[in-house]
């Protein structure tokens, strides 16, 4: 942290400790695409006092994740096809369990948010007339998708970061979120600040490891709780900070709804798009690499179906339980069975054709054959097809993992956690149930069960813009310094006690096992609460997480001489709280009769054998078929355990706005409008 940033804070005594406090009207947590958008938009709209904080500027999913053609979803901006805000909102809404006003806002602001990125410098392709031509993505009835290449989200981050830095917004780097500071109000609770742990200083130095932010508004762009799963497509270094929000009383929603998809392990990268359309073969081996088997070809049997499902896996990429019987997600289940069920390793092999030495184009279905014919890729080996259709996709692995050449060796993959559709509950202004608290990006639970590919990037930009509009319209100032100290004292005291006790145990000889515990939690969640779950597995995981949480205060050890070790200690507490909340949501969903939907297969071995039971790859399950689409599950954490509730989802708006009325309101109230009611 630079000397210039240190000049921003003042030293205050809180809970007997001398700690720095930074005061700002608005603090933005996270330096991904959503966080930078929020900071930029706040300044654009007139906010005068904005700062940002992050655990590390150079990490995070927006900056590090991608695919062969990372998608951004917005209203159609080319051609003669029909489209409208209402139609796009309905597409989002029909994904199930999504609030209609949120869907409407995401559709309405999709073009504005998209062009904000274009003007910031993101090179989305356009034709000679200036149209931003699109393509059809999954769960998309139009051609609303576009892409700036495999690193679309990185391009967004870099462009928005440049804008934020040009605006002069200060960024406090190397700060781990520990706790929100909240105070009671007449109607609930309000966020008035944030406690972070600094990792930019030696563990035993003159400066405090703690830093407090005193603010009127907190924009939470901390990403999804990536640290919950060991089998993950999230980049190394992203963990999330959901636990702090839940401890403060923030409400979660749709926490059962994750997306899982096939990804390589080294590096972590989604193997969708051309990687599958090149028709590689799937191999599995014993842990030592021996006993090679072409397991997908063995399981499917029909050569034409094998080829067509592999091709379709390219654009039907996320695991979708509705496609698990006769669709492309059968491949996902077969991969999961090999790795999680049989303890084997799975590989994509681009050196040889699947099933046979020579590809037989006649065996492909019409869609796959026509596509590959137009691409000039109906012959040769998978690596030849991949390089012909998408040379950068081939070069990517050589660049990211020196020594890995898909032309010479297979690529290890698995079915992994890729995105959390649920998250912290928000209204149509991305306000949470805590006043002054605005979760945006993946931290917010804005999505439903299904969403079009690329909708997450749009949602992050729209949510950040809506939050900025609301904050500027409502104003507000940080609470009195003395009142803030009183509110922050119990928060800082409790967090510091964890560090002090963990340090004392290490000094007494207890080994630091925080890294092992983080790994154990991720492995538990992947094994028991991943793409295939059951009432039994979730119950076992809940019991283990409850036990670990109960032991946290009495047996956790951390090296007092290592700021990183103490950082892991605080991170472990955050992730255990998040795991407890997410597992409670899954258990409640099943207890109320919920069935398999989205990217979650709930295995029910004892389900009656009738026409409604699906039996695939050794799993038995019942499909939800939209039965719960009109309801949203919410979860609130309490010291006694998470509490789950259900509510009807908010409907799509039916406003029939008259221009003169809208114009009058706009003149009086600005872009945020007259609506300041709580969600």
| pLDDT greater than 60 at residue 677 | no
- pLDDT of 20: 96
Higher pLDDT among residues 317 and 2, named by residue:
317
- Residue 679 domain-assigned (yes or no): no
Provide the residue range defining the domain that includes 387. Answer: 259-418
Judge contact between 605 and 620, C-beta under 8 A: yes
| pLDDT greater than 70 at residue 62 | yes
Range with the largest mean pLDDT of 209-213, 398-402, 611-615: 209-213
- Residue 325 domain-assigned (yes or no): yes
Mean pLDDT of the chain: 93
Using CA atoms, how far residue 277 sits from 151, 293, 314, 368, 433, in Å, is: 20, 21, 6, 8, 44
Quick: pLDDT tens for 550-607. Answer: 988 888 888 877 778 889 999 999 999 999 999 999 999 999 999 999 999 999 988 7
> Residue 547: how many CB atoms within 10 A of its CB?
10
| pLDDT greater than 80 at residue 5 | no
DSSP one-letter code for 597:
B
Report, as an integer, the average pLDDT of 116-125. Answer: 98
Model confidence band, residue 206 (pLDDT cutoffs 50, 70, 90): low
Quick: pLDDT tens for 483-532. Answer: 999 999 999 999 999 999 999 998 888 888 889 999 999 999 999 999 99
Using CA atoms, how far residue 12 sits from 2, 133, 490, 658, 671, in Å, is: 20, 55, 15, 53, 38
Strand spans (E) along 101-228? 145-146, 170-172, 175-184, 189-198, 210-214, 217-220
Judge contact between 175 and 211, C-beta under 8 A: yes
Report, as an integer, the average pLDDT of 283-295. Answer: 96
Short-list 169, 666, 643, 494, CA closest to 675: 666
Q: CA-CA distance, 419 to 561, in Å (whole number)? A: 35
| pLDDT greater than 60 at residue 679 | no
DSSP one-letter code for 479:
P
Strand spans (E) along 552-593? none
Percent of the chain with pLDDT over 90: 81
| pLDDT greater than 70 at residue 203 | no
- pLDDT of 312: 94
Percent of the chain with pLDDT over 70: 97
Q: CA-CA distance, 623 to 628, in Å (whole number)? A: 11
Q: Determine if residue 322 is left, alpha or beta; phi over 0 gives left, psi from -120 to 50 gives alpha, anything else beta.
A: alpha
Report, as an integer, the average pLDDT of 33-53. Answer: 97
Residue whose token pair is 């409407």: 104
Number of structural domains the chain divides into: 1
Q: Please state which of the ranges 87-101, 194-208, 396-410, 566-580 shows the lowest mean pLDDT.
A: 194-208
Q: CA-CA distance, 178 to 421, in Å (whole number)? A: 23
Nearest 10 degrees: Cα torsion 500, 501, 506, 512? -100
| pLDDT greater than 90 at residue 434 | yes
Judge contact between 576 and 548, C-beta under 8 A: yes
Quick: pLDDT tens for 130-144. Answer: 999 999 888 899 999
- Residue 290 domain-assigned (yes or no): yes
One DSSP character per residue, 371-411 reads: HHHHTT-SSS-HHHHHHHH-HHHHHHHHHHSTT--TTTS-E
What stretch of H or E contains 621?
Answer: strand 619-622
51-87 burial string, b = 16+ CB within 10 Å, else e? bbbbbbbebbbbbbbbbbbbbbbbbbbeeeeebebee
- Residue 270 domain-assigned (yes or no): yes
Model confidence band, residue 395 (pLDDT cutoffs 50, 70, 90): very high
| pLDDT greater than 70 at residue 2 | no
Model confidence band, residue 49 (pLDDT cutoffs 50, 70, 90): very high
- Residue 309 domain-assigned (yes or no): yes
Quick: pLDDT tens for 328-353. Answer: 999 999 999 999 999 999 999 999 99
- Residue 280 domain-assigned (yes or no): yes
Q: CA-CA distance, 660 to 235, in Å (whole number)? A: 49
Contacts of 501 (CB under 8 A, 6+ apart): 553, 556
- Residue 512 domain-assigned (yes or no): no
Contacts of 438 (CB under 8 A, 6+ apart): 38, 217, 218, 219, 220, 426, 429, 430, 431, 432, 463, 467, 470, 471
- pLDDT of 123: 97
The residues that bridge with 284 in the sheet, in sequence order, are 293, 346
Residue whose token pair is 């939209």: 626
Model confidence band, residue 614 (pLDDT cutoffs 50, 70, 90): confident
- Beta strand pairing call for 258-265 and 601-602: unpaired
Angle among Cα 297, 299, 304 to the nearest 5 degrees reads 50
- Report the SS3 class of residue 30: coil
Preceding amide of 267 cis, omega within 30: yes
- pLDDT of 556: 84
Q: CA-CA distance, 572 to 502, in Å (whole number)? A: 12
- Beta strand pairing call for 50-53 and 170-172: parallel
What stretch of H or E contains 468?
Answer: helix 455-474
Quick: pLDDT tens for 517-530. Answer: 999 999 999 999 99
Helix 455-474 and helix 152-167, axial crossing angle in degrees, nearest 10: 20
- pLDDT of 350: 98
Report, as an integer, the average pLDDT of 457-484. Answer: 97
- Residue 588 domain-assigned (yes or no): no
Judge contact between 530 and 537, C-beta under 8 A: no
Report, as an integer, the average pLDDT of 289-305. Answer: 96
What stretch of H or E contains 127?
Answer: none
- pLDDT of 656: 73
- pLDDT of 678: 45
């Amino acid at each position: 942290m630079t000397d210039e940033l240190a000049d921003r804070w003042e030293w205050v005594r809180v809970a007997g400790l001398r700690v720095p406090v930074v005061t700002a009207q608005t603090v933005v947590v996270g330096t991904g695409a959503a966080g930078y958008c929020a900071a930029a938009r706040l300044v654009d709209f007139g906010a005068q006092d904005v700062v940002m904080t992050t655990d590390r500027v150079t990490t995070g999913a927006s900056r590090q994740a991608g695919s062969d053609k990372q998608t951004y979803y917005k209203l159609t901006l080319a051609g003669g096809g029909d489209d409208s805000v209402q139609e796009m909102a309905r597409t989002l809404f029909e994904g199930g369990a999504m609030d209609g006003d949120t869907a409407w806002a995401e559709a309405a602001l999709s073009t504005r948010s998209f062009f904000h990125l274009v003007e910031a410098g993101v090179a989305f392709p356009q034709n000679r007339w200036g149209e931003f031509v699109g393509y059809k993505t999954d769960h998309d009835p139009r051609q609303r998708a576009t892409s700036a290449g495999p690193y679309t989200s990185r391009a967004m981050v870099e462009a928005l970061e440049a804008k934020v830095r040009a605006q002069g917004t200060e960024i406090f780097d190397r700060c781990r979120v520990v706790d929100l500071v909240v105070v009671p109000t007449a109607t609930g609770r309000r966020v008035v600040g944030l406690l972070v742990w600094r990792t930019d200083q030696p563990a035993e130095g003159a400066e405090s490891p703690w830093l407090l932010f005193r603010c009127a508004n907190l924009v939470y762009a901390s990403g999804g709780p990536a640290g919950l799963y060991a089998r993950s497509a999230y980049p190394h270094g992203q963990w999330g900070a959901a636990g702090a929000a839940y401890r403060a009383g923030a409400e979660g929603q749709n926490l059962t709804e994750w997306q899982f998809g096939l990804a390589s392990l080294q590096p972590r990268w989604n193997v969708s798009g051309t990687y599958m359309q090149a028709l590689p073969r799937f191999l599995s081996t014993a842990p030592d690499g021996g006993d090679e088997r072409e397991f997908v070809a063995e399981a499917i049997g029909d050569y034409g179906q094998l080829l067509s499902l592999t091709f379709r896996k390219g654009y039907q990429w996320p695991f979708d339980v509705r496609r698990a019987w006769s669709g492309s997600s059968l491949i996902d289940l077969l991969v999961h069975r090999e790795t999680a069920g049989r303890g084997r390793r799975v590989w994509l092999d681009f050196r040889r054709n699947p099933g046979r030495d020579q590809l037989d184009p006649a065996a492909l279905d019409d869609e796959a054959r026509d596509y590959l014919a137009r691409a000039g890729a109906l012959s040769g080996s998978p690596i030849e097809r991949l390089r012909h259709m998408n040379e950068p996709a081939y070069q990517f692995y050589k660049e990211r993992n020196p020594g890995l050449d898909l032309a010479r060796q297979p690529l290890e993959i698995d079915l992994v956690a890729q995105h959390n559709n649920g998250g912290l509950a928000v209204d149509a202004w991305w306000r949470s149930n805590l006043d002054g608290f605005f979760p945006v990006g993946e931290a917010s639970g804005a999505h439903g069960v299904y969403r079009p590919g690329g909708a997450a990037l749009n949602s992050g930009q729209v949510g950040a813009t809506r939050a900025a509009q609301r904050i500027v319209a409502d104003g507000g100032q940080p609470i009195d310094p003395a009142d803030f100290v009183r509110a922050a004292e119990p928060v800082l005291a409790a967090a510091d006690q964890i560090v002090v006790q963990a340090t004392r145990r290490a000094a007494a000889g207890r080994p630091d096992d925080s890294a092992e515990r983080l790994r154990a939690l991720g492995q538990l969640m992947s094994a028991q609460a991943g793409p295939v779950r059951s009432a039994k597995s979730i119950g076992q995981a809940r019991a283990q997480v409850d036990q670990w949480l109960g032991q946290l205060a009495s047996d956790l050890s951390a090296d007092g001489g290592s700021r990183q070790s103490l950082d892991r200690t605080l991170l472990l507490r955050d992730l255990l709280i998040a795991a407890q909340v997410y597992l409670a949501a899954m258990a409640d969903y099943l207890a109320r009769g919920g069935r398999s939907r989205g990217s979650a297969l709930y295995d029910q071995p004892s389900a009656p054998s009738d026409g409604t039971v699906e039996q695939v790859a050794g799993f038995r399950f019942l499909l939800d078929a939209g039965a719960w689409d009109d309801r949203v599950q919410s979860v609130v954490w309490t010291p006694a355990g998470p509490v789950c509730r259900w509510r009807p989802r908010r409907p799509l708006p039916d406003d029939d706005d008259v221009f003169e009325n809208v114009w009058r309101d706009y003149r009086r109230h600005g872009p945020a409008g007259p609506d300041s009611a709580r969600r």
